[in-house]
Structure 1
Amino acid sequence: MKNTKESQLQKSTSPRLLLMITAAILFICLISSASFFYVRQLEDAIQDETDSNLIEIAEQLSIIVDNQVQGNLRNLESIALFLRAFDNIEEARITQFIETEAVRYSYEKIFLSNESGHTLFSDGSLGSIADMKFYSRAMDGESVITVVSSSNQNWIIYATPIYSQSGREIIGVSGAVQNLESLSNSLEVDFFGGEGYVQLVKADGTAIVESQHKYAIGPYDNYFDALEESGYQDGGQNSLNSLRKDMAEGRTGIIGLMRGSRECRMCYMPLTTNNWYLLTVVPISVINTKTDYFVQNTAIICVLITILFLVLILALIGLHNSSRKKLERMAYTDAVTNGLNWRSFEAQTGEILKKARESEYVMGHLNLQKFKLINDMYGREAGNKTLRYVYDTIQELLAPDELVSRVSADNFNLLLRFTSEEGIAKRVQEFYHYLNRFNEGRLQKYWLTFTQGFFIIDDPKLELSTMQERANIARQSRENGLGSRAGVAFYDDSSRASLLMEKNIENKMEMALKNRDFFVYLQPKYELANRTIAGAEALVRWRDPEQGMLLPDLFIPVFERNGFIVRLDLYVFEEVCRSIRRWLNEGKKVTPISVNLSRAHLPDPDFLEPYRKICDKYEVSPSLLEFELTESIMFENFKSLAPVIENMHQAGFTCSMDDFGSGYSSLNILKEMPVDAIKLDRDFFLPGSKTDITRGKSVIETVIELAKKLHIKTVAEGIETLEQVDYLKAAGCDMIQGFVFAKPMPIPEFEKLAYPIGGKQKEAAGDGYGACRPDMGETGAD
């Protein structure tokens, strides 16, 4: 019975066990199938997400590369358009211009070629590019972007035609060279945890920018050949042949590649530039790492499948959001300041101005002054920290509907609410105050300063680039001392006209000096004791072949700013020495000639040396020459100028102070500066009230008396009436200079007046209009 029961039990247990086993197997199979299906769905979803992210990243990088390359080409086309308007500039001026533009737009070089291929580079070198394909294409009217290799380096070449002023003929080619490294830096982005990388090739596979990533293929000449040689095979639906065909036909796609056990996904996307392709690669292991985690947990405990699925969904959402945020930061955030970049500033400004009224906002352009010194002194990281500090500080001071953005290098754009010009000026001062708070308590201070310009947005529908350009023009006018109001420059038509006029002067100045279009005029100084010429002041006039006579007030301030005044001063000095030498050879009794000395000479401790050499060249005694320095120069260089004047004396020159009385510290300067003469400013002699005349005479008499005690000669300038002459003679003034006796005149006319035939000067009678000199039709402005 026992055995029977056991047998029955075994019989009854066996079907149950079998059923349980079967149920378990079915359950396991069901779970396994569900898990397999789940894993496959998971893999597909992650791969789709990866592909989607790949495409988004590729699109954003394509935009960055296209914008960078096309922007460089547009800059070059602007340079070519500028040169079209000034096709008669001499070579030295062109070299200076293209060298400046090369630095401005971060080109390695800019070059200009004529119709025969003769080429001038921005570093001053010459060459020929007549046999270059891009030159031929540009001469055919095409703007070209190409890549060339030289000295184991790859370069991007930009070339565009230069048209004649009529716009009908191509007269040359403007080009620029840029190191591919600048483009490579734009492609060094971090995505997929640093596992992804990017390469840039031509449609035929020729290498342009190779990735330095640890898994990237390289170096190589042709990407397709490199894939085959490195053992990569088709790992997806498309083959390498399909890849070649798609890229040859300009299509976008994603391909799977495998070498051994390493599988990758690659997105290939064409750029608008030439036939270039952007290849964005991510290894499948990035995807498998996530997938394996879920598969292992699913195999361990099936009950957690639902939980794991929810976790996966959350992970996918987080991955998607993280990827999107990275892309948004890359596309809309400035890498240095972590604030708005130009694209984001443009978008937000557009939204704000859609609702704005006329003149409700202003566009500002700020340029941080001497920023390069920060990089040179403290390093690039300190420079970047400074830019972030500037951005953050200004951002704190803005209203919610106002914006700031770093647009390039050390340049910032602002969108501010406009109340009045004075209100904007106060805002700027507030920026300065807060930016320089860090100097409080510091022994060694470093002041952050800007040049700034603003454009009142009278038409909110204007292109943003136009607003930016006008704000920048206003800033440049402020830099050059033009068009500023309330300490801040605002754009108007005169600002642009003034800058164009200044540019025209700078374009002509080198050729004018070479062609001797600058002429020296002399205005006599009369000794009051006998009303005869006792000297003269050398002044300069510019006879432009196109515009006629240009007076100093028009061009001297420009030359002061760009440094050309140093060469012009030496030119005038040499012309004076040449005339003195001729007069001495003719046996004339020469009177001293004074020449103006610009402040631009003073930073050079050896600036007197070329003057000495000119005197030696013409064998002219320095005692016949006098340097005139304005009172403002002496005031600005109070501590350092006295030794300079002593050096002049040691060299044999004399020195006079011009415009005496125009400043606020004249007497103190007179006490400290060992000058030989002072020229009383013409403001002393301008008409005024009776009280002004009486007080003015008292001041003049006191100054003349003090000068005599200090053994300093006095010269009154700007004298126009005989009453003034009689008064100054009675007051003891030594000499006068003014229209009452003579206006500035060319050297030949001065000779007739100062050294007449017979050797005896005619005593000056004076009629208030320079009656004793021939009428040259000159304005006499000096």
Structure 2
Amino acid sequence: MEKNVKDIASYTYLLGTAIKETCQRDISLLTELSKKMDASDISNNAESLKLISEFALDYGFEYIAVVDLKGKGITNSGQQVSLTDTWQLKEVLGNAGISGSVQLSWENDNILLHVPIKSGSEISGAIISTCCKDNITGVLSRGTYFEYGCIIDSKGNMVLKPGHDGIRVDNIYLLFTVSDNNIDKIKLLTESIKSKQSGTLTFKNSGEKYILSFTPLGINDWYFASVVPVTAAMKDTSLIIANQIGFCAFLLIIFMGISLDINNSQKSYLKQVEKLAYNDLLTGQRNYTKFVIDANKLLSIAQNKKFAAVYFDIANFKYINDVFGYETGDRLLCHIADTLVSLLEKNGIFSRINADKFVALFPYSKKSEVAEFIVLLLNRITAFSELNEHNYKFKVYAGIFCSENTENMNITAMIDRANIAQKSIKHSNILYAYYSNELREAILREKEIENQMESALQDGEFIVHLQPKYEIRSNKIVSAEALVRWQSPEKGLLSPKEFISIFEKNRFIIRLDTYVFEKVCEVLRNWIDKGYEIIPISVNVSPIQFYETDFVPKYSEIKERYQIPDEYIELEFTESIFFENPEILTKVLEELKTHGFICSIDDFGSGYSSLNMIKDLPVDVLKLDGLFFRKGINGDRDKAVIKSVITMAKELTMKTVAEGVETKEQLNFLNLIGCDMVQGFVYSKPLPVEDFEQLLWGEKLAQFCC
């Protein structure tokens, strides 16, 4: 029992210190940011957004805001923020005696970390972050006793409540039930807090015994406390506490290091678990704590060498654990460690961060050596025999940062950049990528687009253009495709290539798809109300939208609300959807057709190109991918392929549309082989609705209006 109490006391002390260092590190970073800003930046939302977005990306902050003296400002996600509470605003901006300093406060379940911005000697605004709370929660969640950890103030009020339901109270003193004779314990806790001392005691709550350990954080009047049931503490705590010390040591190292005031018995205890603290218990190799120590030493003594930092993980590792079992997953991780040992030998170092995430650092002379190493590494990892025996192929995605000058570079910054590179290729067919300034700029542009997308949708900046589809035989417009454009006040007209892929990643495409669909319904309804001779309009449906459970009822409800006649809206699905789950697809298509929609396959030939696989699907239209025509129709083979596709589609009673047609030669060939419709610049580019109406009806518009 005595050892259990000692273990928890050490854990509490170290984790409390780590939390303090986390806050101080964030304060220092935000203070540096505040030095780069003045009153003009605060009043300029665009400039503020650029500065804080870049800063958040570079240093891993989830939330940063800049506010003026009225408490109004903008966050790094582009959202407007307003501090309406007078007390809170005074705290953020700083008041008499603390101008220029940083405070932490608690408001609306957020720990606010804020730094005043000064123009000369005058305060002109403030930088705010809630990243501190996220970091603290993250620190707690990494510990074995995380559900028993909490932050309290000097009156015992819970600033951050523990995760365990049995001890989630508003004030820690409520845990000391009178019936369990806890009066002496309450007095001891009160006196310790009053004198700003650490302490450990045991008490009972409803008959169950608990260990309470607490230590001052040095932040406001806050204490970090662990409230652990003795039954939980009686487990093998030597191993548990080793893990905690290892993790805490890592935090202390990367946040500039501190000198721990530990008594002789604590020092002796730490020496006993140092080996465990620096080793990954699964692989037997160095853990991330030791990796950071060794890597920074390596960088400091070899400043003239080039180093590559690599960050990689396994795609769908959870699936491997779930299907093949956790033991197989563990053996795969050990296989990766053994592979790294074999490849790096004594020329580099590596560690497993957590789960399936690994990092490595090694010197190189030529960049081609880095690529050779990565290819060899990925090939050896994916040659894991246990999964190959089941014919399961898995992917490993790696990001690389190459540093030619390590003088001003620490390992944390290098790994962060490698991580950014890795994230840029997730869910793609590219298995590794290098970090570059261009990649960083691309990520910032992506972030900028994400920051603006909500307001752009609300302000109607997304506009619908219509591109006509011509019937070849009659040379008349018989249909149109709706294509979205972004009319940005700052950047002008943006094409879909600049934002669609981003929206697909963050799922905003669902809202944009629905928005465009409703706009098309508005156009058709307007034509009907004005007595125009309407034609069908096709609308693109993203795979993400397709798999939404409310997709069919949502689109059907909108169509019915605008009272659009059947077969005047065509839904275009990308070719890939048709081969991922044919059973579900067939059911959805049949349901859509009962609601009067025309269904088509878009971009056919871009990926799978198998008419045999779609012969049983209830599809009305097949659109040949523009790739067929962008590369030109050269030679008999190209012509034979296109002709066979159109011939087979006709046999399946599908209409055919060739998109991306640009030349008369292509048009004549498609007419010869019996293609039904053509869409492309050979006839017209996508047009604003008003221009399309003029093209479609011309002089008839005046007749319709009359």
Is TM more than 0.5 here?
A: yes
Which one-letter code corresponds to 1:653 in the other structure? Answer: F
Match of 1:303 in 2: none
1:589 aligns with 2:540: no
Say whether 1:600 aligns with 2:547: no
From 125, 142, 148, the equivalent of 1:170 is 125
727, 733, 737: which one aligns with 2:679? 737
**Cα offset for 1:89?**
9.0
> How far apart are residue 88 of structure 1 and its match?
9.2
- Three-state SS of the structure 2 residue aligned to 1:622 is coil
CA displacement 1:65-123 (0-9 Å, x = unmatched): 33333325645887996999999999xx9xxx9xx99xx99x9x99999866799999x
Matches within 5 A, 1:71-470: 71-72=22-23, 74-75=25-26, 130=85, 136-140=90-94, 141-145=100-104, 157-161=111-115, 169-171=124-126, 173-175=128-130, 177=133, 273=219, 323-326=269-272, 328-329=274-275, 332-333=278-279, 339-354=285-300, 356=302, 360-367=306-313, 389=334, 392-393=337-338, 396-397=341-342, 398-407=344-353, 411-416=357-362, 418=364, 419-434=369-384, 437-439=385-387, 450-461=396-407, 462-470=409-417
CA contact (8 A) 1:719 1:739 kept: yes
> Alpha-carbon deviation of 1:545?
0.7
Structure 1 pair 391/131, CA: closer, same or farther in 2 (3 Å)?
Answer: farther
Q: Secondary structure at the match of 2:653?
A: coil
Provide the rounded CA distance (Å) in 2 between the counterparts of 1:472 and 1:165: 36
Question: How far, CA to CA, are the matches of 1:408 and 1:77 in structure 2?
Answer: 27
Residue 394 (structure 1) shift: 5.6
Contact 2:480–2:538 under 8 Å retained in 1: yes
Residue equivalent to 2:651: 709
Q: Secondary structure of the equivalent of 1:596?
A: strand
CA contact (8 A) 2:67 2:73 kept: yes
Q: Distance in 2 between matches of 1:683 and 1:199?
A: 59
Once the two structures are TM-superposed, the CA of residue 502 in structure 1 deviates from its matched residue by 0.7
Question: Structure 2 counterpart of 1:666, which letter?
Answer: S
1:576 Cα deviation from its structure 2 partner: 1.0
- Secondary structure, counterpart of 2:576 in structure 1: helix
Distance (Å, rounded) in 2 between the aligned partners of 1:165 and 1:539? 48
Residues 3-22 of structure 1 aligned to structure 2 (within 5 Å): none
Tell me, yes or no, if the aligned pair for 1:200 and 1:207 is still in contact at 8 Å: yes
- The yes-or-no answer on 1:477 pairing with 2:424 is yes
Amino acid at match of 2:19: Q
Matches of 1:626 and 1:567, distance apart in 2: 19
Q: CA deviation at 1:599?
A: 0.7
Q: 1:455 offset after TM fit, Å? A: 0.8
Distance in 2 of aligned mates of 1:605 and 1:156: 34
Pairing partner for 1:526 from 462, 470, 493: 470
Maintained 8 Å contact 2:151/2:222: yes
Q: What is the aligned partner in structure 1 of residue 209 from structure 2?
A: none
- Helix, strand or coil for the counterpart of 1:707? helix
> Quick check: 1:503 aligned with 2:453?
no
Shift in alpha-carbon separation, 1:746–1:569, aligned structure 2, 3 A = same
Structure 1 residues 451 and 712, CA gap change in structure 2 (3 angstroms)? same
Change (3 A) 1:325 1:350: same
Which segment is superposed worse, 325-334 or 346-355?
325-334
- CA contact under 8 A between 1:162 and 1:174: conserved in structure 2? no
> Does residue 697 in structure 1 map to residue 634 in structure 2?
no
How far apart are the structure 1 equivalents of 2:617 and 2:30?
A: 49
What is the alpha-carbon distance in structure 1 between the residues aligned to residue 129 and residue 485 of structure 2? 35
Deviation at 1:719, TM superposition (A): 1.9
The letter of the residue matching 1:747 is V
Per the alignment, residue 68 of structure 1 pairs with 19
Paired with 1:417 and 1:512, the residues of 2 have a C-alpha distance of 46
Kindly state the Cα deviation for residue 571 of structure 1 after the two structures are TM-superposed. 1.0
Q: Which deviates more, 58-67 or 345-354?
A: 58-67
1:685 equivalenced with 2:629 (yes/no): yes
Q: Does 1:728 align with 2:670?
A: yes
C-alpha deviation, 1:567, in angstroms: 1.2
Matches within 5 A, 1:545-624: 545-624=489-568
Query: Among residues 588, 593, 605, which one is paired with 1:649 in the alignment?
Result: 593
Residue 752 of structure 1: aligned partner: 694
- Which stretch shifts more, 462-471 or 496-505? 462-471
Q: Distance between the aligned counterparts of 2:65 and 2:225, measured in 1?
A: 32
- CA distance in structure 2 between the partners assigned to 1:537 and 1:560 by the alignment: 20
Count of residue pairs brought into register by the alignment: 603
SS in 2 for 1:452: strand
1:582: Cα distance to partner? 1.0
CA drift of 1:633 comes to: 2.9
Larger Rg: 1
After TM superposition, the structure 1 stretch with the greater mean CA deviation from structure 2, 405-414 or 425-434, is 405-414
Alpha-carbon distance, 1:722 to partner: 2.3
CA distance in 1, matches of 2:645, 2:214: 84
- 1:509 positional shift: 0.7
**C-alpha displacement of 1:388:** 7.1
Secondary structure in 1 aligned to 2:499? helix
Deviations 1:466-525 (A, max 9, x none): 2122111111212275xx96x211111111111111111111111111001011000111
Equivalent residue letter for 1:511: S
Q: Separation in 1 of the partners of 2:331 and 2:82?
A: 42
- Residue 160 of structure 1, CA deviation: 1.5
Q: CA deviation at 1:656?
A: 1.7
Task: Tell me the equivalent position of 1:672.
Answer: 616
Query: 1:335 and 1:635 mapped to 2: Cα distance?
Result: 43
Taking the aligned partners of 2:20 and 2:619, their CA distance within structure 1 comes to 59
* Alignment-mate amino acid for residue 707 of structure 1: A
Residue identity opposite 1:429 in structure 2:
N
1: CA distance, partners of 2:157 / 2:586: 68
Taking structure 2 as the reference length, what is the TM-score of the superposition? 0.69
Cα deviations across residues 641-669 of structure 1 (Å, max 9, x unaligned)? Answer: 23322222222111122222233433223
Is the 8 Å Cα contact of residues 539 and 595 (structure 1) preserved in structure 2? yes
Does the C-alpha gap of structure 1 residues 204 and 682 become closer, same or farther in structure 2, counting only changes over 3 Å? closer
Question: Is contact 2:462-2:487 (8 Å) kept?
Answer: yes
Structure 2: how far apart are the matches of 1:451 and 1:165? 46
Paired AA for residue 468 in structure 1 = I
Aligned to 2:660: 718
The 1:389/1:89 distance shift into structure 2, 3 A limit, reads: farther
Higher normalized contact order (CA 8 Å, seq sep 6+, divided by chain length): 2
Is the contact made by 1:601 and 1:607 (CA closer than 8 Å) also made in structure 2?
Answer: yes
Secondary structure at the counterpart of residue 622 of structure 2: strand
Distance 2:119 2:667 in 1: 56
- Quick check: 1:119–1:129 contact (8 Å CA) kept in 2? no
Q: What SS class does the counterpart of residue 420 from structure 1 fall into?
A: helix
Give per-residue Cα distances to partners, 1:677-702, cap 9 Å, x unaligned.
Answer: 2122233334658xx33222233333
